[in-house]
Amino acid sequence: MISTELARALRATGLRWRPRSGDRFQLDEPEFEADVFTVSEMTIEPHEYATGVVLAFNGTTEWALDSVALEDALWLPSEDQLRELLRGSFRSLTRRADTHEVEIEFSGERVVFDHPEPADAYALALLQVLRRIR
């Protein structure tokens, strides 16, 4: 799972989330940073309204929440979702002794991003791609 800081940076560059079952997220408030939720058809479902998307908490007794606006949730994309978002720019993931390296090719240039966590290495690469697009 990517770090909260990288998830915020990705959102700030314009990455948009369309919730689907299995997606993980946090409430974007410091007091909830340790809590990670999973979109699930049984417990947390996205509902689209004219005013926006709402994540409905269905029958979760441990939470006093009925729903949360999508903009108040912070998406924590998985490794495979990040790799999918990199699309054709992704070249490889290599595990080293204490780090993971993600290599991408963008505008004819090959660049490597490393991090101890593979999901964070993917997130760093995607962040660079999004920043160059902007």
Q: What is the pLDDT of residues 58-105, one digit of tens each?
A: 765 455 567 788 999 999 999 999 999 999 999 999 999 999 999 999
Query: Which pLDDT does position 133 carry in this prediction?
Result: 85
Count H helices, E strands: the chain?
3, 9
d(CA 115, CA 39): 27
Tokens representing residue 41 in the block: 């058809």
116 φ, ψ to 5°?
-60, -30
Convert the pLDDT of each residue in 15-31 to its tens digit: 999 999 999 999 888 78
Q: Whole-angstrom distance between the N-terminal and C-terminal Cα of the chain? A: 25
